[in-house]
């Protein structure tokens, strides 16, 4: 039997090739795989498997995008709330500033009134001082007259 293989192309390589050819012949005649291979079902099944993998991958990408969008929506909502809170605080600060400005105007008005009253009091004081000075001069003059009268009497009495 081995002699037969040696005559064809010599050695073990021929035996191996012949064995592979025998296997192929057996599978051609009796195997349904070869029939499926000839029709292309195996390739079609491979394509379907690859498409399923691609669909799964796309589905995973969509899920990741939805997760990212959800995170972004949450972040935007948080920022919106923070901005609304800041806006409310700024409005309160603005109201406080307006109240302080009104308060300052009122204080300035009151200060002006007090200043005017102080000026009036100062004028009254000056007037009263002038009048008192006038009275003081009159009293001094009268005192000087009385002194003169006393002095003029003293020589008569002596």
Residue 2, pLDDT above cutoff 60: no
pLDDT of residue 34: 60
Domain spans of the chain, in order of start: 1-30, 31-157
In terms of pLDDT, which residue wins out, 152 or 2?
A: 152
For the chain, give the mean pLDDT. Answer: 82
Assessment of whether the complete model's pTM goes beyond 0.85: no
- pLDDT 10s digits, 85-124: 999 999 999 999 999 999 999 999 999 999 999 999 999 9
Distance between CA atoms of residues 37 and 30, nearest Å: 13
Q: Buried (b) or exposed (e) across 97-116, using 16+ Cβ within 10 A?
A: eeeeeeeeeeeeeeeeeeee
């Amino acid at each position: 039997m081995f002699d037969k293989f040696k005559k064809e192309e010599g050695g073990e390589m021929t035996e191996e090739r012949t064995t592979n050819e025998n296997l192929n012949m057996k599978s051609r005649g009796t195997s349904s795989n070869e029939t499926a291979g000839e029709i292309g079902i195996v390739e079609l099944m491979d394509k379907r498997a690859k498409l399923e993998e691609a669909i799964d991958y796309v589905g995973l990408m969509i899920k990741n995008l939805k997760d990212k969008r959800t995170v972004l929506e949450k972040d935007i909502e948080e920022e919106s709330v923070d901005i609304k809170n800041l806006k409310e605080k700024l409005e309160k600060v603005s109201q406080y500033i307006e109240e302080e400005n009104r308060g300052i105007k009122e204080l300035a008005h009151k200060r002006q009134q007090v200043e005017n009253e102080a000026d009036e009091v100062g004028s009254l004081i000056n007037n009263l001082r002038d009048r008192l000075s006038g009275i003081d001069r009159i009293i001094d003059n009268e005192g000087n007259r009385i002194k003169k009268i006393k002095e003029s009497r003293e020589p008569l009495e002596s």
